[in-house]
Structure 1
Amino acid sequence: MSHLLRHPRVDSQLEAAVTRDEHGVETISTVDVEPTLRNAVWEARNRSHLLGLKASSPQQTGVVGTMRSAVINGLSVADITGNAHTVERTPEMAQQLRVDSVMFTFVLAGESFHFNGTSPVLVKQGEVAIYDSDTPFLLGFSEGMHAIVASVPRYHLADIGMQDAFRNLKVMQHNGNGVDSESTRHLLNVLTDAFEAPVGVNPHEFGETFVEATLQALRRLSGQAKDSTKDYFTEAMALIQRHLVDPDLSVDGIARALNLSQRHLSRIFSSHGTTVAQAILQVRLENALTLLTTPEGLHLTAAQVGQRSGFGSPSHFSRVFRNQFGMSPTEARREQQLG
């Protein structure tokens, strides 16, 4: 278990090797780290910004590399260059340092091999390996390697009902032509936006936008392309219309019907300037106004209009109707008839 422990000299060397730019992106270089501590420093940086790994190099110099990294709303992206080295996610680490994310290793230069207990898989320049963070694996990189590595938490994928996606190792191209290559390259472009957060922009707002763009890119990559903000909003509003009189109509029910998390559904409605509860109330009030002021509802009492619009009690219906339209349901009907 020695590689799971921290050491004061490693922490000191790591702190001295890290710089930060105006975008909030941190960079570490092991060039000036003591050669005997380079592997340990590299491991420490991976553990804090990607996931726990054991690092080694066939060269006596140890891992000589540079890692530029950004962590946004739990989603980690690293731009890595270096000499020939390996990183291993041991069974012990997979058990004790759980991350529960989907990993993406985009090979931009050199080659990499991926071994997860079966047969080694070669990942060439222009390809990306997609794999589970908590399945033990060994990654090896050739001399002069350059890769973009990302860790996408499954709780973000759960927001769009894709928490079980990308469980098995898969290699795809991000260079070349074709739908798969284009969608994979699009994901790479979205992920590298993590390094260009606009200066002065609210970090929370940038984080929400970045995660949303990443999730849309992942849905596109999985073959389930959808504008998750626009289409899901439309589907949710249609569902509200269909279940208007259901007293149990709620954020939870709508989220489950669309296979989304409540958090993601709320984020979608927020992007349209409203909340789920406000949207439900607005649709119910508009339906009530229509019944009160058109021939189809003339035979109904005000209480019946409220009931058919999903309001549980006449008093509640009357109160929220007046708050919205400045008059009672009965006054709205009378004004329409007089007009």
Structure 2
Amino acid sequence: MSDTVHSLSTAGLAPKKQIQRWSDALTDLCGQFNVDPLEASSLEGRINYTTVSRLKLCQIEASQHRIAHSSAQSHSSEHPYVKILFQTQGISYFEQNGFQIQVKPGDCLAYDVSCPHTIISPALTRHEVVIVPKELLRERGFHFGRMYACKLSARNGTGRIAHDFVHAAFDEANRLSANSAVGVADSLIDLLLLPLREADTAFDRVGPEAMYVRAQAFIREHLRDPELSIDQISAALGCTKRYLHMLFSERGMTVSDYIWRARLQHCRQELESHGGKTITDVAFSWGFSSSSHFSRVFRKCFGVSPSAIHRGQVGGIAPDVT
């Protein structure tokens, strides 16, 4: 027989013990996380979980909270999983690699657990989760050189079929023989990959949202390169310049706007930190090739000169460009 359904709850525990219980539960399932109930006096949570062959299936409900897997905890050997999350109630905000994804009921989110990330749920949330060992996906051609989180729809099409199958597999898990569990797990993985492959995530092409995330990540990784250009970005991502322009224009900016605003933000942060560098050193280290041009665009963006920031006359950090 397959594994039975296990349940865990924080009900009846003191607040500190609730947090420890929730943290321990998450660690047992897929890795170490920091847990914060935000401004609530308690963390009310419940997890029902089972296994089907090597897959872990979970039904999770929790009051407002924040969980974080930090870079200090990021060891892929300790978090060798991809998590497929189906939101069924409430709204969550997933943050990873400098971008945020809002997850609502009917959404499916797929992401690499080993990469640092944060999930904030301002109110009660419920979701169903499949925790998949990466090696099972590698066998099916899924690449992990750089997997970007991707939000898909579970309201229709292959996403809905995959969710329905997950729900049925959870309900029937304790009735499956060992051989049947292996077959169900194989079928479930193939079903889960269908919406991801339709979005072309982590394969030769990607859907619009995933492509925008990839473009953001590539820009951030090469932000110090003064030769960074839309030609370089489109070539690296395997898409046309026109398509890249469209992705950014839909979000109210050009590719160049995004690059320069990101550079300016980093420059301001360095100037405020008083790291001993001159204004020119900071500007040139972030891809600017002219001090006068840097001062002009800096003042236009922030309404103050870089020298004023450098002298500590103005505090604060510029808003993120995402």
TM-score of the aligned structures, taking structure 1 as reference length: 0.53
Aligned to 1:43: 23
Residue 182 (structure 1) aligned with residue 157 (structure 2) = yes
Quick one: distance in 1 between partners of 2:191 and 2:175?
A: 26
Seen in structure 2, the aligned counterparts of structure 1 residues 38 and 79 have a Cα distance that, compared at 3 Å, is same
Quick one: distance in 2 between partners of 1:130 and 1:198?
A: 22
Structure 2 counterpart of 1:74, one-letter code: R
- Aligned to 1:220, the other structure's residue is in SS state helix
- Counterpart of 1:98 (choices 78, 83, 93) is 78
- Counterpart of 2:51 (choices 71, 83, 87) is 71
Aligned to 2:265: none
Aligned to 1:146: 126
Aligned to 1:295: none
Structure 2: gaps (5+ residues)? 200-322
Quick one: distance in 2 between partners of 1:51 and 1:189?
A: 26
CA contact (8 A) 2:3 2:52 kept: no
Structure 2 counterpart of 1:209, one-letter code: G
Residue 206 (structure 1) aligned with residue 159 (structure 2) = no
Structure 2 counterpart of 1:38, one-letter code: Q
Structure 1: gaps (5+ residues)? 1-21, 176-180, 226-339
- Aligned to 2:75, the other structure's residue is in SS state helix
Aligned to 1:84: 64
Aligned to 1:278: none
Residue 169 (structure 1) aligned with residue 184 (structure 2) = no
Residue 129 (structure 1) aligned with residue 131 (structure 2) = no
Seen in structure 2, the aligned counterparts of structure 1 residues 209 and 183 have a Cα distance that, compared at 3 Å, is same
- How far off its partner does 1:165 sit? 9.0
TM-score of the aligned structures, taking structure 2 as reference length: 0.56
Quick one: distance in 2 between partners of 1:223 and 1:165?
A: 16
Structure ID, larger Rg = 1
Quick one: distance in 2 between partners of 1:220 and 1:165?
A: 20
- How far off its partner does 1:219 sit? 3.5
- How far off its partner does 1:118 sit? 1.1
Quick one: distance in 1 between partners of 2:107 and 2:146?
A: 16
- How far off its partner does 1:189 sit? 1.9
- How far off its partner does 1:188 sit? 1.6
Seen in structure 2, the aligned counterparts of structure 1 residues 51 and 133 have a Cα distance that, compared at 3 Å, is same
- How far off its partner does 1:52 sit? 2.0
Aligned to 1:252: none
- How far off its partner does 1:195 sit? 2.2
CA contact (8 A) 1:23 1:199 kept: yes
**CA RMSD between the two structures:** 2.5
CA contact (8 A) 1:70 1:194 kept: no
**More displaced, 117-126 or 147-156?**
117-126
Quick one: distance in 2 between partners of 1:166 and 1:127?
A: 22
Identity %: 15
- Counterpart of 2:34 (choices 32, 35, 54) is 54
- How far off its partner does 1:83 sit? 0.7
- How far off its partner does 1:169 sit? 1.2
Seen in structure 2, the aligned counterparts of structure 1 residues 113 and 68 have a Cα distance that, compared at 3 Å, is same
Aligned to 1:114: 94
CA contact (8 A) 1:52 1:97 kept: no
